[in-house]
Amino acid sequence: MLELDTLSEIINDALRGIEYPERPEGLYQPIAYILDCGGKRLRPVLTLATCQALCGNSDKALNQAMAMEMFHNFTLLHDDVMDKADLRRGRPTVHRKWDEATAILSGDALLTLATQRVTMNAGEYLNDVMDLFNKTAMEVYEGQQYDMDFEQQDDVTIEQYVEMIRLKTSVLLGAACEMGAIMGGASAEVRKAMYTFGEKLGLAFQLQDDYLDTYGDALIFGKEIGGDIVNNKRTWLLVTALSKDSSGKLHRFIDHCPVSNAEKIATVMEIYNDNDIPRLCTEAIKGYVDDAVAAVKTAGLSPSDEKFFIDLALSTIGRTH
Amino acid sequence: MLELDTLSEIINDALRGIEYPERPEGLYQPIAYILDCGGKRLRPVLTLATCQALCGNSDKALNQAMAMEMFHNFTLLHDDVMDKADLRRGRPTVHRKWDEATAILSGDALLTLATQRVTMNAGEYLNDVMDLFNKTAMEVYEGQQYDMDFEQQDDVTIEQYVEMIRLKTSVLLGAACEMGAIMGGASAEVRKAMYTFGEKLGLAFQLQDDYLDTYGDALIFGKEIGGDIVNNKRTWLLVTALSKDSSGKLHRFIDHCPVSNAEKIATVMEIYNDNDIPRLCTEAIKGYVDDAVAAVKTAGLSPSDEKFFIDLALSTIGRTH
């Protein structure tokens, strides 16, 4: 198996190598802008690694890997418009750097470019990759819709929250793995095993994100700690704490909070600690990592390839950023 | 060949028969809302009619015909957000009835549903229909981008304007015909001929729209006459008149117009008439209709099927709404 960094570089090179029509500039420049952000490229790396583990050649899934990253960036582009976000990875979002109409239209174009890309060199697997791509896209939209719905809703259960992040985030990691398995010629059972690996890894990652926003080290995590608490953001921590808040104290406190941000963070963390939330969260993360590891062990990979995926999953527990 | 109205009804029934997941409501209700508008359904009718003319069975292209209509409605949904439009076919637009985030997300989902639909029962033609669908989508986005660019631009040439409406409107009518030809098992030559028929028909329709907004009968046309003039909208009429405006009189008049709407319409129509614009426009429309008729005559259809398409094209010249 190639190194993680090598796989990321393959993807970055391929994305940089895309040639866009020169005109109309307003359509293609924002696409090049959002795809030119570096980063870990986790989704396409999973596609390449899975394909390589199954047929010894990651190249076969390069277009499908690129399609996964392009789709992911299309969702970021439109989500930023919906959330009215100003910054993405430290740079102005597309709708701030250009305008909202540009962000909507270039996002549409990026979705179609991703769809085109997923069909490229798909050969006998064209039907399978198209079906997986479209089904996953619909699930991601459903997740985003639930996320927006839950912002207006006080009684979200932890099961509803986990289903929302599964749809919004995890199915795309599952699909990234299965896409590589399809292009690597895998059986239905192995495709399913690798999908489950990605899906559970995605859940672990999202919960770890929630955890680190409150319990991370600001310097390593790369952003202010406690932002989710300040913004009353529905996270695994808050949803779980609210489900244990039979006295309604936490509900009232976050609804009408007359204190400073620092006091608010301190008080909510105290409630979290009193309710054992940090331990419950790290246990939940560990549970999803265990599920991911169990799934990949059924895929019949070589010991060294299996280790690659297990190490990737275990790194979630240890990660601090 | 089935009657036009029968083909429209087949499409309306099929669209009404789509079963959406019950939840999340905010994602699927706006899609059902925008697709439930009746209307002529010109694009999918072209797909069904072309398929029937070529293989005797319009059913083979039913999913692809639905995909054309779904794609068209996705573009309307997002265009209305970009243009901040309040009404569409006499009803509130999706972003007014719900909100902007809902319109963006349900539009994305409608694009993916259209993409799924185009692959259904495509069989041996899967690659061809996907390629045509994605290529056409990119052209439509380019057309919309040019349309937005031209709003800020005073020196649009008539060639640039025609290329813009070709991309924004006509290629989808061309693709609708070619989609039916593909599913009907046509040769590359016949596919091309039917594409050209639809493309030229689309240009004739768009120019006729421009013409009727100024020279139509308000009662029959169904909306106020002169709206384009009041809004300085770039139309074939205005772009052509500006290209003949060597003295700059029309430029200055529309830039700083101190008169009432009625006076503005009267003055601009006077300038149009002095420059022979209405006759030039009807001649241009007739030219595109002639091109469409010439194209369909090379497709080797039966005399009665050929007549169906020719009558459709000729109806453009006579149409008053």
Return d(Cα B63, Cα A163) in angstroms, integer.
Answer: 31
The pair of three-digit structure tokens given for residue A171, joined into one six-digit string: 């199915």
- Distance (Å, rounded) from C-alpha B43 to C-alpha B61? 12
Q: Which pLDDT score, from 0 to 100, does residue A1 have?
A: 79
Chain A residues at the B interface, defined by Cβ less than 8 Å, are 21, 24, 26-27, 78, 81-82, 100-101, 104-105, 107-109, 111-113, 115-116, 119, 126-127, 130-131, 134, 137-138, 141-142, 144-146, 148-149
Q: Which residue has the higher pLDDT, B257 or B57?
A: B57
Q: What is the pLDDT of residue B223?
A: 67
Q: Residue length, chain A? A: 321
Which residue would you say has higher pLDDT here, A154 or A177?
A177
| Nearest chain A residue to B132, by CA | A116
Chain mean pLDDT for chain A: 93
User: Across the interface, which of A78, A109, A126 has its CB nearest the CB of B108?
Assistant: A78
B138, A112 contact by CB (below 8 A): yes
User: pLDDT per residue over B111-163, tens digit each?
Assistant: 999 999 999 999 999 999 999 999 999 999 999 999 999 988 888 999 999 99
Residue A134, pLDDT score: 98
Report d(CA B203, CA B159) in Å as an integer. Answer: 12
Q: Phi-psi region for residue B276, left (φ > 0), alpha (ψ -120 to 50) or beta?
A: left
How far apart are alpha carbons A304 and A1 in whole angstroms? 8
As a whole number of angstroms, the distance between CA B186 and CA B179 comes to 10
Whole-number pLDDT of residue A154: 80
pLDDT digits (tens, 9 = 90+) for A207-241: 999 999 999 876 666 667 888 898 888 999 999 99
* Closest residue to B24, CB basis, from A105, A113, A146: A146
Whole-number average pLDDT of chain B? 93
pLDDT band, residue A320 (cuts 50/70/90): low
Q: What is the separation, in whole angstroms, between the first and last Cα of chain B?
A: 25
**DSSP category for residue A20:** P
Q: Within a 13 Å sphere around the CA of A182, how many CA atoms are in the beta-carbon half?
A: 26
Closest by alpha carbon to B229, among B271, B195, B175? B271
User: Count of residues for chain B?
Assistant: 321
pLDDT of residue A43: 97
Q: Do B137 and A105 touch (CB under 8 A)?
A: no
Q: How confident is residue B173, by pLDDT bands cut at 50, 70 and 90?
A: very high
Q: Binning pLDDT at 50, 70 and 90, where does residue B12 land? A: very high
Residue B299, pLDDT > 90, answer yes
* DSSP letter, residue A21: P
Residue B219's pLDDT is 62
Taking one residue from A and the other from B, the number of pairs with CB-CB distance under 8 angstroms is 98
Q: What is the pLDDT of residues A84-113, one digit of tens each?
A: 999 888 899 999 999 999 999 999 999 999
Task: Flag whether the ipTM exceeds 0.85.
Answer: yes
Name A270's Cβ contacts closer than 8 Å, sequence gap at least 6: none
Tell me if residue A210 falls in helix, strand or coil.
helix
Reference A203, options A246, A241, A174; nearest CA is A174
Stretch A316-321: mean pLDDT? 68
Q: Higher pLDDT residue, A251 or A171?
A: A171
A82 min Cα distance to partner chain B (Å): 5
Please tell me the predicted confidence (pLDDT) of residue A220. 65
Contact yes or no for B134 and A115 at CB 8 A: yes
Tell me the one-letter amino acid at B56. G
